[in-house]
A and B are shown apart, each in its own frame.
Chain A
Amino acid sequence: GDSVTQMEGPVTLSEEAFLTINCTYTATGYPSLFWYVQYPGEGLQLLLKATKADDKGSNKGFEATYRKETTSFHLEKGSVQVSDSAVYFCALNLRRDDKIIFGKGTRLHILP
């Protein structure tokens, strides 16, 4: 079935390090792809999205490129900050229905 797989956490980095969180998907058709972020005790916020192959979503220094050939949507940031500490969810929407399918989430800790 349709699914999202992302790297398990926790991921611990020092401030200003380079970040990559891997995400791959399995889907029939052409999904829209998303990264959501959940800060402690809060709900999910949309971080970025891409709706078709080769699109790049970007926001707050984070980027992800929709790679159809590798069915991937890896999240990257060049220089992380302590305030980026949160749980990051990769997700897809098949567009033929309305549910979003989420990965299990990756917890990120940034050390000062």
Chain B
Amino acid sequence: NAGVMQNPRHLVRRRGQEARLRCSPMKGHSHVYWYRQLPEEGLKFMVYLQKENIIDESGMPKERFSAEFPKEGPSILRIQQVVRGDSAAYFCASSPSTPDTQYFGPGTRLTVL
């Protein structure tokens, strides 16, 4: 059973560009979570999604950030008009139900120049 997959693993963007981060949950998992890790910090919750629904987005910045988990395909975290402060590692996790253990992907490391 493949683990949680994220791509790309590394993403470089210039200020003002858009960043799209993808997450494929483990097989059989319908719950997806996104977390952000700033340098030398712990992970901070951003958003929780189920298929076609955003359940909890209390950790998402109010502007420029959006997330989706369509009926088919991976979950997408989208950051518009990136700024240097968006540079971080973004981790996706999935679980088969809730509440349940969350399994993490390898992360996408976003660098904004």
Tell me the A residues contacting B by CB distance below 8 Å.
4, 32, 36, 42-46, 49, 89, 93, 95, 97-105
Assess whether A98 is in contact with B55, with CB atoms less than 8 Å apart.
Answer: yes
Q: A32-B99, A98-B99, A99-B59 are in contact. Are A44 and B42 (CB under 8 A)?
A: no
* B105 contacts the other chain (CB 8 A): yes
Q: Which residues of B contact A32 (CB under 8 A)?
A: 99
- Would you call B55 and A89 a contact (CB within 8 A)? no
Say whether B106 contacts A98, CB under 8 Å.
Answer: no
Chain A residues with CB under 8 A of B33: 98-100
Q: Which of B14-22, B43-51, B65-73, B74-82 contacts A (4 or more CB under 8 A)?
A: B43-51
Interface residues of chain A: helix, strand, loop or mixed (majority): strand
Report the interface size for chain B: residues with CB under 8 A from the other chain: 27
State the B residues within 8 Å of A (CB): 4, 6, 31, 33, 35, 40-45, 48, 55-56, 58-59, 91, 93, 98-99, 101-107
**A98-B98, A100-B43 given. 6 additional CB < 8 A pairs?**
A32-B99, A46-B101, A89-B43, A98-B31, A104-B40, A104-B42
Expressed in whole angstroms, the Cα–Cα distance for A103 and B37 within the complex equals 11
Of B6, B43, B99, B107, the residue contacting A93 (CB under 8 A) is: B99
